[in-house]
Amino acid sequence: MMLRLLVAALAMLFLLVAWAPATLLDAALQRATDGRLRILGASGSVWRGEGTFASLTPDGRAAQPWLSAGWDTEFGSLLTGALGWRLVERAGATVLQLRVRPGGVEVVEADIDAPLKPLLDSIPHPIARAGWRGAARLQIPGWQCDWQGQCDGRLKLTWQDAGVELVPGRRFGDYEITATARGNAGTMDIHTLSGEVKVNGGGSWQQGQRPRFDGSVEGPVEIVGRLPNVMDGVAFPTRNPAVAEIRLR
């Protein structure tokens, strides 16, 4: 009798897990980002489903969609001690592949294109509220983190058609940001690919400390001269009105 009850309980547990609704992923993402990221219209299950990834506006009243995709669990990786998960956009291209292992999480690959503004709205830092425009492409050839937050890997973020709402209709340029993580620290660099506004610099971060960045912005005075107001406490004027220093501490 007890054996039958145990088998029935295990069967019920299996069914509950197997048919766990996709809305649980939306709830988990919402909790992990303090409500700044959501999966709208999530359907299917946590193992296989689809939805639209969106960022909430700063006031939390409206959602800004930036990726419609489906996800599928790769159980074949269990043979190597990992559980795989793949995110595929509706056009068919893989935008993210993850593996969860007993020792941590691995981003096998990522190639995500999205408008910059919705992504920045999900970042709780004043510099993200400056009204930046453009499109972002995030590429990660490999990134691994253990459960203590120690990470190793590289990523590249390309910012195209950059601009800011305070200077409507003006294109700044295209920029590339690269970052490398090693354990509990890392480095990052930014350089200009093209455009009339030149941005160059580098920085670093250490777990438990505030990130550091030193760089410069050079370009037309009507644009660069506004940066100390737009990026108060981060951008600083120099003797040359066409050049501003960037210092993040």
187 contacts 158 by C-beta, under 8 angstroms: no
**Bridge-based pairing state of the strands 198-206 and 151-164:** unpaired
Per-residue tens of pLDDT for the chain, all 249 residues: 444 433 334 334 333 345 678 888 898 888 877 788 899 999 999 889 999 998 887 666 778 888 999 999 988 888 788 889 999 997 788 999 999 999 999 999 999 988 877 777 666 666 666 677 889 999 999 999 998 889 999 999 999 998 877 777 788 999 999 999 999 999 999 999 999 999 999 999 998 888 999 999 999 998 898 888 877 788 999 999 999 999 988
Residue 7 has a pLDDT of 37
* Phi, psi at 24, each rounded to 5°: -65, -35
Say how many C-beta atoms besides its own lie within 10 A of residue 79's C-beta: 7
**How high is the pLDDT of residue 46?**
87
Integer CA distances (angstroms), 129 to 81, 118, 121, 165, in order: 42, 11, 7, 11
Q: How far is CA 19 from the centre of its chain?
A: 28
Report how far residue 229's alpha carbon sits from residue 48's, in angstroms, rounded to the nearest whole number. 47
